[in-house]
Amino acid sequence: MKETYQTDGGHSDGHGLPPMYSIKRWLVTTNHKDIGILYIITSLFFLVMGGVLALLIRLQLWLPRDPGEGILSAFAYNQSVTAHGLIMVFWFLSPFAFGFANYIVPLQIGARDLAFPRLNALSYWLYLISGILLGVSFFQGGTFNGGWTVYAPLNLPTFTPQIGATSAVLALFIFSVAITAGSVNFLTTIHRMRAKGMTLLNMPLFTWTILLTVWMMLFAFASLLAALMILSSDRILGTTYFSGTGTQGSLLWTHLFWFFGHPEVYIVFFPALGAMAEIFQTFTGRRIVGRKWFIAALVLVTIQSFAVWMHHMFLTGINLEVKTIFMITTIGISLPFDLMVFSLIYTLLKGKIQFTTPFLFAFGGLILFIIGGITGVFLGAVVLDYEFRGTYWVVAHFHYVMVGGVTGLIAGIYYWYPKITGKMYDEFIGKISFILYFIGFNLLYFPLFIAWETPRRVFTYHPSLIPWHQIATIGAFILALSFAIMLYNFYKSLFDGEDAPDSPWKYASTLEWSLPSPPPLENWEGTPTYENGFLEFLPEKKIKTDGGETIHEK
């Protein structure tokens, strides 16, 4: 029955859905694959926005300067640093990962769509308008300029009186609402709608990481939501939560924020880890070593992630006993990660590696994450943290972790590009983009470890560190160039790439690769099942109506 598939998924009689070339389609669609594409494109837009801000920051840091010198005013610099952080963490990273999650997870578990398709569309549109609101905030007297952690008391009108700062807080608030709706949707889908035989333990690793990500999101973002509601109320209604009891109000903000903020690190990183695990398996032709333990480690991290937040607060007046407990939980959470890293490395050793672009990015992501992880252990130790807190060590560390995660997700976009578009990307340009990416990344972030004595969030530093900051700035532009080449590759291949077969990867084993590229609107002709231990499609009888016509055929 393959001939009856519309391989562009764009047939106009798709249950009232206009064809893909129509703009209307993209305004009304509730299909998980369409919304996945919308997420990916929108998040790439925010990547460019956050990236331009980062380049502005790096240009300003070319030399240590006094306020007002260089291309950014002091106020503009603070806005750039804040908005760069907010955009990259909230409006780029998670939505980028959830573009894949939308597209791939229902395909991997054998579902026709998410459990609540309209709610899924609502999540996307709320995400988009939250980003637009953040963009508008720049023009309302300047956006929020108190750092991405929105610490009290800087988050109060006394210090950030501009209307744009309030808009930024409201943007973050509605973003959190969108995330909560999305979490409910994905949890219901993954827990309820798997194909027969696909037990939790048989689930592909990417779906596993998304499942655990949304569990963390469900609780972590509720805490952020509360924090932002209280903050909005302090800013608009005039309540005094964060100012009424002096420094304790500031401490309250850090509790609320980091109870969300630390799980957020894993929320951002897990999807990348899942993509990396899939890619390692596909391009080594081997199942991941210690799969069960890998999953157990993921679950452990998910639970433990809610018991480490105070390590962001070692410089506050919390007593030493509590700090010690949180030091132990923090160092402890690196152990399951060690297990996962070793499991990925052993998979490489035991398999036969194909050096495709997605593999290179996934492997690069692993190396960067190892460096980021090790440098993080320093920060987890109370005594060392006293020294490193508020310096560029922190900046370098979390960029290695977070942008290491981005590397894994870029591996993912190369990996699933043929499935989503039906075209192959250009392998040669892909490899060039990887080389530039890896060089640019390390030129940008590694010198920051060496120049760690630079104070964070400040645009001046000791002149002896100038060479390191200039190397970093050059690296930033190389990294930006690699993204430009990557986007060019995707754009060009859309028109003159080769047509992709169902599975361009020889050893891909997950369900999405058994479908045409791109998959038809309702994914399956029959009902996918693993009941007998392997993938089968149970035939679905075409229902005869009175006129003898069939429903699914054109």
Partner 1 sequence: MGVKQFMKNEQKTQHIETHASIWPLFISIGVLIFLLGLSGINTGSTLYSSLFVIGLLIFSISMIGFGAQRFQGPEGPFGESWPFQGVENMKTGVWLFLASDVVLFGAFIGSAIFIRVAYGWTSWTPVPDDVLPGLINTYLLLTSSFTVILALVATEKKNRYGAVAALTTTFLLGVGFLMNKGIEWNHLYHQGLWLSTNVKTSTFFLTTGLHGAHVIGGLVITLWLIYRAWNGAYLEDNRTIEYFGLYWHFVDIVWLFLFPLFYIL
Site for partner 1 in 201-230 (CB under 8 A): 218-219, 221-223, 225-227, 229-230
Say if residue 2 is exposed, middle or buried (CB neighbours under 10 Å; 0-12, 13-18, 19+): exposed
Q: How far is CA 29 from CA 6, 35, 121, 218, in A?
A: 17, 7, 7, 25
Least Cβ distance, residue 91 to partner 1 (angstroms): 15
- Would you say 101 or 448 has its CB closer to partner 1? 101
Least Cβ distance, residue 518 to partner 1 (angstroms): 15
User: Does 383 sit near partner 1 (CB under 8 A)?
Assistant: no
Q: Which of residues 503-522 bind partner 1 (CB under 8 A)?
A: 521-522
Least Cβ distance, residue 161 to partner 1 (angstroms): 10
User: Does 11 sit near partner 1 (CB under 8 A)?
Assistant: no
User: Does 460 sit near partner 1 (CB under 8 A)?
Assistant: no
Could you tell me the two tokens for 229?
């509601």
Out of 129, 450, 466, 471, point to the residue binding partner 1 (CB under 8 A).
129
- The stretch near partner 1 (CB under 8 A) out of 109-117, 429-437, 463-471, 477-485 is 109-117
Q: How far is CA 364 from CA 97, 150, 359, 476, in A?
A: 18, 32, 8, 17
Distance CA 431, CA 337 (A): 28
- The stretch near partner 1 (CB under 8 A) out of 262-270, 340-348, 429-437, 533-541 is 533-541
Q: Which of residues 163-202 bind partner 1 (CB under 8 A)?
A: 163-164, 166-167, 170-171, 174, 180, 183-185, 187-188, 191-200
Least Cβ distance, residue 105 to partner 1 (angstroms): 13
Least Cβ distance, residue 226 to partner 1 (angstroms): 3
Q: Residue 520 region, left (φ>0) first, then alpha (ψ -120 to 50), else beta?
A: beta
User: Does 343 sit near partner 1 (CB under 8 A)?
Assistant: no
User: Does 41 sit near partner 1 (CB under 8 A)?
Assistant: no
219's CB contacts (< 8 A; 6+ apart) are 263, 306
Distance CA 464, CA 466 (A): 6
Say if residue 466 is exposed, middle or buried (CB neighbours under 10 Å; 0-12, 13-18, 19+): middle
Q: Which of residues 403-432 bind partner 1 (CB under 8 A)?
A: none
Question: Which residue in 249, 248, 90 sits closest to 182, CA to CA?
Answer: 90
- The stretch near partner 1 (CB under 8 A) out of 58-66, 158-166, 376-384, 390-398 is 158-166
Distance CA 338, CA 346 (A): 12
User: Does 54 sit near partner 1 (CB under 8 A)?
Assistant: no
Beta carbons within 10 angstroms of residue 91's beta carbon:
27
- Would you say 351 or 528 has its CB closer to partner 1? 528
**3-state SS class at 529:** strand
- Would you say 215 or 434 has its CB closer to partner 1? 215
User: Does 86 sit near partner 1 (CB under 8 A)?
Assistant: no
Q: Which of residues 230-259 bind partner 1 (CB under 8 A)?
A: 230, 233, 236-241, 244-246, 248-249, 252, 255-256, 259
- State the DSSP H helix or E strand holding residue 12, giving kind and residue range, or none if neither: none
Tell me the DSSP string of 389-436: TTBHHHHHHHHHHHHHHHHHHHHHHHHHHHHHHSB---HHHHHHHHHH
x/- track of binding to partner 1 for residues 464-503 (CB under 8 A): ----------------------------------------
Out of 287, 350, 462, 542, point to the residue binding partner 1 (CB under 8 A).
542
The type of residue at 295 is I
- Would you say 125 or 159 has its CB closer to partner 1? 125
- Would you say 296 or 377 has its CB closer to partner 1? 296
- Would you say 163 or 485 has its CB closer to partner 1? 163
Q: How far is CA 390 from CA 102, 250, 262, 379, 456, in A?
A: 37, 17, 17, 11, 5
Q: How far is CA 60 from CA 131, 212, 366, 511, in A?
A: 25, 39, 31, 48
Distance between start and end Cα atoms, the chain = 12
- State the DSSP H helix or E strand holding residue 117, giving kind and residue range, or none if neither: helix 117-137
The residues that bridge with 196 in the sheet, in sequence order, are 529
Least Cβ distance, residue 511 to partner 1 (angstroms): 12
x/- track of binding to partner 1 for residues 257-286 (CB under 8 A): --x---------------------------
x/- track of binding to partner 1 for residues 289-318 (CB under 8 A): ------------------------------
Number of residues lying near partner 1 (CB under 8 A): 94
- Would you say 254 or 433 has its CB closer to partner 1? 254
- The stretch near partner 1 (CB under 8 A) out of 108-116, 277-285, 355-363, 488-496 is 108-116
Under 8 Å between Cβ of 140 and 162: yes
What does the longest C-alpha to C-alpha distance in the chain come to?
Answer: 85
- Would you say 83 or 476 has its CB closer to partner 1? 83
- The stretch near partner 1 (CB under 8 A) out of 280-288, 383-391, 399-407, 535-543 is 535-543
User: Does 23 sit near partner 1 (CB under 8 A)?
Assistant: no
- Would you say 199 or 383 has its CB closer to partner 1? 199
